[in-house]
Structure 1
Amino acid sequence: MIQAVAVAGLLVIFCATAGVAERNLVPTLDNHPDVCPDQPPEPEWMQNIDVRESYKRLLIQQIYRDESMQSIVDAQNCDCPTRFPSWEAAERVYVERFASSEYWDVVEATSAYRRQANELRRAAMPICEAAGNW
């Protein structure tokens, strides 16, 4: 009986604390990057893409990430324009290679670009850390 009362008391305290903590979380719509504050925004059409086609947006994001990591490694430089280039090249790759692709082809390409970018990330990260852009 005492144990049940103790457990009930702990649950009341936990729920009250969780409720207070949840009320203190205020979401922010401001998305200010920690590095390179002048990063080019995603093209507007990507931000407004239909939810059912969001897999296409993911592919373009991974193409962009891959190209960025490749540029850093190739140049051995991580200045802001190298780390965050224009979206034009990634859009061009998407349009030329994947715009008319089927869903599963896009999903497979997204995975391949993600893997490749992750491999390049290992080499790019120390370059960017040295430049203070990681």
Structure 2
Amino acid sequence: MMEGFLRAFRHSRDRHDIEAMSDESLRGLGMTRDQARMLNALPDDVPARVAAMARVHGLSDAEILADIDRWYALLQTCNQCRDLPSCHRFLAREDLDTLADEGPVETPFCPNTAVFAAMAAR
């Protein structure tokens, strides 16, 4: 219960900070106000899940962040995932860090798989 309260308090504080930022400051961070709001509203584990799945497909953090609009689309898609249990089981694998070295990885449960595969093919 306390954790939920603290999370709600942090999100409220962050929303206030986002609204107080100038457009120039937000541009300096590489995002719009709407993107900052969306990022603040996401559960904390979504960016980590997207980054982990991208690494499984052989992509670096820099590669997935290179196109900020695509990054936000990946986050939104992940946040709407309908198969989190499969995702959590997959990301809990002990061999996760070496999977990308073994060739293409099949993640049919992930709604971002096609985007990751297309990015990795470049």
- TM-score, normalised on structure 1? 0.30
Q: Which has the larger radius of gyration?
A: 1
- TM-score, normalised on structure 2? 0.32
Higher relative contact order structure (alpha carbons within 8 Å, sequence separation ≥ 6): 1
